[in-house]
Amino acid sequence: MGLFMNDVLAQKGFDWLSSTSNRIVINTSHQPTTKAQATSTGNLMAISTHLDFAAIANSTLSGRKLPIAKTTDITPKGSSATSAGVARHISLISGTTLIYVTQCTTRSLTTNDTVTISSWAIHILDPSSST
């Protein structure tokens, strides 16, 4: 039995993700499952409208990928200090929705630290058979 995914499926998903995401949030101890959790309970630092998506391309794994450029000097949200903790997740959110969550290299953060997120990519893999 053959398996197939048209690249348009990944393209449309990535188009929506890149046009809707407008904030990177760095989260601590738990993986957020809602925007409320991502922006309050586990929020350490955030930067708005500083996402730089590259062109969608073939994935080195399989399927397609959406590269996200390096984001530098992410500072604590707002003008006041935020609490310290260990960064464990990166979330992409819109004004109302948690869109994507991934793990990051754990790093202890102290109040008023700045963070750089290396370039990374989101992959939508081609279907595969488990047999």
The per-residue pLDDT for range 74-130, each reduced to its tens digit, is 766 543 435 677 888 899 999 899 999 999 888 887 777 778 888 999 999 999 876
Question: Quick count: other Cβ atoms within 10 Å of Cβ 31?
Answer: 14
Q: Considering the entire predicted model, what is its pTM?
A: 0.83
**Bigger pLDDT: 68 vs 43:** 68
Burial tier of 70 (Cβ tally within 10 Å: 0-12, 13-18, 19+):
exposed
Handedness of CA 100, 98, 36, 72 (dihedral sign): positive
Task: Determine which of 4-8, 17-21, 100-104, 113-117 has the lowest per-residue pLDDT on average.
Answer: 113-117
